[in-house]
């Protein structure tokens, strides 16, 4: 069994992005810029935004956080997005989700200029992803694909079961795997018999948010197990959606939580932002 080490790979990617950023500055005098829109004080969102800011600083990006109160109006958020769309120093715009319930999230995400949509949540980019065209793919599933590439795992021809079908994790994950020529099964909360799907899969990718959803008896010998889930247990321990200890005994490859897919997400946010910056200058 081999651990798929996302922490190590994300550090390698970050150091590559750092030297590319330096090169962009020297050759073209541009600095990739990321704007984050954060609404309210949800502790998890605050933590994620801090991590993103720190990562931007590490690689030499310009970053700005628009931190707005929970009570902010739809119109005010829209004005901020429009301003960022126009700002030539900003290559990527990210809206930290979830937004408060009085905000129309879809409308906000659709307002982001698709060329600055580094989270890949705009329907234009999602459509391009489905068509297998070059686009900004959502960072978490893109991070999974990079991790597989690093370990020379080619999904071509594999039976892959994606568990979880959200717009930001499961659906784009399935699209990326389909584009990589895997045969993809997508399961969700209404799937009748989850085990019958996971058991026959060469690779199981789970992103649900339920500890121990995937047990060792639900996967076949030699499975590749990718765990996107992040769950905080009452004792403070961070775990994924799969029973890591037991599945490690059967798996050929497995991602740990933490240290697997999580760090790859931020690395891909940086990668998408530098890609946007390059597209801006046509390099």
Binding residues among 253-272 for ligand NAD as defined by CB under 6 A:
261-262, 265
- Please state the closest distance from residue 231 (CB atom) to ligand NAD, in A: 6
**What mask of x and - would describe binding to ligand NAD in positions 152 to 171, judged by CB under 6 A?**
-----------xxxx-xxx-
Distance from CA of residue 178 to its chain's centroid? 17
Q: Based on the number of CB atoms within 10 Å of its own CB, is 198 exposed (0-12), middle (13-18) or buried (19 or more)?
A: buried
- Please state the closest distance from residue 208 (CB atom) to ligand NAD, in A: 4
Q: How far apart are CA 224 and CA 222, in angstroms?
A: 7
DSSP summary character for residue 27: H
Contact call for residue 187 and ligand NAD (CB under 6 A): yes
Contact call for residue 194 and ligand NAD (CB under 6 A): yes
Catalytic residue of the set 20, 52, 202, 275: 52
Contact call for residue 207 and ligand NAD (CB under 6 A): yes
- Concerning whether 52 is annotated as a catalytic residue, the answer is yes
Catalytic residue of the set 20, 96, 171, 241: 96
Closest CA to 94 of 160, 31, 157, 45: 45
Alpha-carbon distances of 140 from 107, 124, 148, rounded to whole Å: 22, 18, 13
Binding residues among 38-97 for ligand NAD as defined by CB under 6 A:
none
66 DSSP β-pair partners: 37
DSSP summary character for residue 254: E
- Concerning whether 156 is annotated as a catalytic residue, the answer is no
Catalytic residue IDs = 52, 96, 119
**Which positions lie near ligand NAD, rule CB under 6 A?**
140, 163-166, 168-170, 187-189, 191, 194, 207-210, 213, 228-231, 261-262, 265
């Amino acid at each position: 069994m081999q651990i798929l080490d996302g922490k190590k790979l994300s550090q390698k990617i970050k150091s590559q992005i750092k030297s590319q950023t330096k090169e962009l500055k020297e050759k073209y005098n541009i600095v990739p810029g990321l704007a984050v829109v954060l609404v309210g004080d949800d502790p998890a969102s605050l933590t994620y935004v801090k991590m993103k800011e720190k990562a931007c600083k590490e690689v030499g990006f310009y970053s700005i956080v628009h931190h707005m109160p929970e009570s902010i109006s739809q119109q005010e958020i829209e004005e901020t997005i429009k301003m960022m769309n126009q700002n030539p120093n900003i290559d990527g715009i990210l809206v930290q989700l979830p937004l408060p319930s009085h905000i129309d999230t879809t409308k906000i995400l659709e307002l982001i200029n698709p060329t600055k949509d580094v989270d890949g949540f705009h329907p234009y980019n999602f459509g391009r992803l489905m068509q297998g065209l070059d686009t900004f793919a959502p960072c978490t599933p893109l991070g999974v694909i990079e991790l597989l590439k690093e370990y020379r795992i080619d999904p071509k021809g594999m039976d892959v079961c994606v568990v979880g079908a959200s717009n930001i994790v499961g659906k784009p994950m399935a699209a990326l795997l389909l584009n990589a020529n895997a045969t993809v099964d997508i399961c969700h909360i209404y799937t009748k018999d989850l085990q019958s799907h996971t058991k026959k899969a060469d690779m199981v990718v789970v992103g649900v948010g339920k500890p121990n959803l995937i047990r060792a008896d639900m996967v076949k010998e030699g499975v590749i197990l990718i765990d996107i889930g992040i769950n905080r247990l009452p004792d403070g321990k961070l775990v994924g959606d799969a029973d890591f200890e037991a599945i490690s005994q059967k798996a050929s490859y497995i991602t740990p939580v933490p240290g697997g897919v999580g760090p790859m997400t931020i690395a891909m946010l940086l990668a998408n932002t530098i890609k946007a910056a390059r597209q801006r200058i046509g390099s």
